[in-house]
Chain A
Amino acid sequence: MKYSQDLLECLYRMMVRIRLCEESLVEPIIKREVRCPCHLYSGQEAVAAGICASLTKADYVWGTHRSHGHFLAKGGSMAAMVAEIFGCASGCSRGRGGSMHLIDPEQGILGAAPIVAGTIALAMGAALASSIRGDNRVAVSFFGDGATGEGVLYECLNFAALKKLPLVFVCENNFYATHMPIRECRVENSIYKIGEPFCITSYEVDGNDVLGVYEVGKKAIDQCRQGMGPAFIECLTYRFRGHVGPDDNIQGDHTDIRPREEIEAWLQKDPISRFRDYLINNGLMDRKILDDIDRGVETEVAQAHAFAKASPHPDKKDLTRYVFK
């Protein structure tokens, strides 16, 4: 068989962890128990899970405002993330960052930020650090299609190629930059082609096919590790929820953005049920094992919420702590 049982299980479990954790936030957001803006990753799980499966703990990832999935897939603690989203002192950013600033340097998660394209150059810096030290680490920059409108992306494509830096640009094209459909943002929709003028190996992949993402990610990461310079991957995917919070942004609704038929068509391509069907139909994994994974994840999510609920919020007297080290 082409893939080890471990890998298949790992990919499936990671996608389920991301999905169930994301969906567990919906009710607390609606009830205003979670107040910080949450950009849910539901629907895009195959990208984070598929790419991070080829990274080591020492490798680096950098994310965006929509990075719950990247954080979990690179080894971040679900409890620390949920606690951060609830604004707790025990959160991964000690209640100073919220949903949009997730970090765990021990796991190589060097940070996430909502300035669109803001962390691409930072990821390039981590790749440069690796290149100067010669320690063979790879940096992955996750960003959305909205970032293709920012000039710094092109500065980074050029410099990373010029210096052959071990940097993988992963563009998650979910076809909307906040409210704006991609056809209104760009004349050329094939984002992966922006890597080509910089002589960067560029791929387009079905971002809802976790094995497809894994294959392309592995190639790109291997190439970086061999010192052959950066790679660019465009993952075509879709967010099941709207830009921020649980709202679906359906047309005719108050946000009036996405056609209902479009959402329904993408729900048919749900990366988790697709992978589950693939595993069962090809006799690669038993339904019972998959169900057990689901139940295990449900327990983990419940425990993460229990941890957050039991955690205190930061003390007001610590307001200005961490301005300077």
Chain B
Amino acid sequence: MSSNRRLSYSLAINEALHQMMAADDSVFLIGQGVNSPWYVGNTAQGLLAAFGDRRVIDTPVSENGITGTAVGAAIAGMRPIVVHPRMDFMFYAMDPIINEAANWYYMNGGKASVPLVIWGIINRGGEQAAQHSQALHATFAHIPGLKVVMPSNAYDAKGLMISAIRDPNPVIFVDDRWLYELEDTVPEEIYEVPIGKGAIRKTGSDLTLVASSFMAQEAFKAVQELSGEKIEVDLIDLRTVKPLDQELILESVKKTGKLLIADGGWKTCGLAAEISAMVCETIFGYLKAPISRVTLQDCPAPASATLEQAYYPTAETIAQAVRDLLQSPTREGLYPDLPKKQ
């Protein structure tokens, strides 16, 4: 077995699905377009031939009913994966996801859990405008009872899909079409990437940069570029949006005293806001400068390519935000009358 086999992000997901369906008869895939590369790329290739149409179920356009069906099947002992090839369409299924799946275990006093993966694909860019482009991870992370994972590379995509399938709770698995071609070293065997654990992608002491999913890849490019400018950044890839790996973030900020969060979602009440509040609440005394955020503006996704370029932050946006933050006045400079830190 090769230890350094390269595999693309989308085929890593595909391999996770093949291996978990082979390992466990209760795992099945359901959703619109699971047999169609048009919808799910090559993530589902070969599944129908291997497992048949009883366990690889292409469906009519009925997001609410089909997601509810996956929830009910999970409560009845199966481990379904329900896919939404455009994450935007999940809004049709908010009732089964939130009112039912997220609440079920709690409101029934732990008598029945919902071991379900709800897989939403972010599909932005390409002038697809506001209803084919939304990144909704923060919306779901707000809901008690839901876990939310967002792998940024092929290794994590496979490992987190496996962990999500094995988890006894509903897990929102968010991937991004912009990552599908990225290759990484991916072990051939079944392995887990633990839910709730982030990863340090690069170490440095000047600043902490937190990102996830596609933004973690952009952040990595930015950090490499900044290295040439003698700016050394601690880069944390969250991997899981909920539950947050608070300890990893806090330890890094204690070291650097400066925090920049790069998120592919909107600013208001978003993931970056949550991380910012968590850090302020917990280790305010360690902060040397105001926390900074790189996010989408509070604006729907546009169609025209020129507007798209203005809308989506890139490695360069992040690098500039790092430079700006490092040049911003320190706590002492901003508030000279504050008592000195102990």
Contacts and interface: CB of A to CB of B under 8 A. Distances in A.
**A and B interact:** yes
The 4 A-B residue pairs whose C-beta atoms are closest, nearest first, are A125-B72, A121-B68, A94-B109, A155-B65
Contacts of B68: 118, 120-122, 124-125, 152, 156
Nearest to B170: A324
B221 interface: no
Contact of A103 (B59, B60, B65, B112): B112
A187 interface: no
B113 A125 contact: no
A119 B80 CA distance: 17
Contact of A123 (B72, B77, B144): B72
Main secondary structure of the interface of A (DSSP, over half): mixed
Contacts of A122: 68-69, 71-72, 75, 96, 100
A242 to B, nearest CB: 24
Interface stretch (A17-25, A107-115, A230-238): A107-115
A91 B109 CA distance: 9
Chain A interface size band reads 35 or more
A121 B60 CA distance: 14
Contact of A92 (B69, B111, B144): B111
Nearest to B54: A132
A125 B144 contact: no
Contacts of A120: 68
Contacts of B62: 155, 158-159
A81 to B, nearest CB: 13
A130 B28 CA distance: 13
A93 B108 contact: yes
A97 B109 contact: yes
Given A103-B111, A139-B76, A155-B64, 9 more contacts: A93-B108, A101-B108, A105-B111, A110-B76, A120-B68, A121-B64, A125-B75, A131-B54, A132-B54
A130 B76 contact: yes
B55 interface: yes
B326 interface: no
Given A96-B107, A124-B65, A115 B95 contact: yes
A322 B110 contact: yes
A183 B59 CA distance: 34
B70 interface: yes
Contacts of A92: 109, 111
13 contacts: A97-B107, A97-B109, A103-B111, A119-B72, A121-B64, A122-B68, A122-B72, A125-B80, A129-B72, A129-B78, A163-B57, A322-B110, A323-B106
Interface residues of B, number: 43
B66 interface: yes
B99 A323 contact: no
B108 A111 contact: yes
A124 B25 CA distance: 19
Nearest to B102: A323
Nearest to B110: A322
B74 interface: yes
Contacts of A118: 68, 95-96, 99-100
A129 B95 CA distance: 20
Contact of A325 (B65, B71, B72, B168): B168
Contacts of B144: 323
Interface of B: 25, 28, 54-55, 57, 59-60, 62, 64-78, 80, 95-96, 99-100, 104-113, 144-145, 147, 168-169
A104 interface: yes
A82 to B, nearest CB: 15
A95 interface: yes
Given A111-B104, A125-B76, A93 B111 contact: yes
Interface of A: 60, 62, 91-97, 101, 103-105, 110-111, 113, 115, 118-126, 128-133, 139, 151-152, 155-156, 158-159, 162-163, 321-325
A159 B109 contact: no
B67 A121 contact: yes
Contacts of A91: 109
Contact of B65 (A94, A159, A321): A159
A129 B73 contact: yes
A152 B64 contact: yes
Contact of B110 (A101, A110, A133, A325): A325
B94 to A, nearest CB: 11
A128 B72 contact: yes
A122 B64 CA distance: 10
Given A94-B109, A128-B72, A159 B100 contact: no
Contacts of A60: 76
B104 to A, nearest CB: 7
B144 to A, nearest CB: 5
Q: Which interface residue of A105, A121, A155, A162 has the most chain B CB atoms within 10 A? A: A121
Contacts of A156: 65, 68-69
A92 B109 CA distance: 8
A128 B168 contact: no
A125 B70 contact: yes
Given A93-B107, A103-B108, A322-B106, A132 B69 contact: no
Contacts of B95: 115, 118, 152
Contacts of A162: 60
B110 A155 contact: no
Given A105-B112, A122-B96, A132-B28, A62 B72 contact: yes
A158 B59 CA distance: 11
Q: Which interface residue of B60, B64, B67, B111 has the most chain A CB atoms within 10 A? A: B111
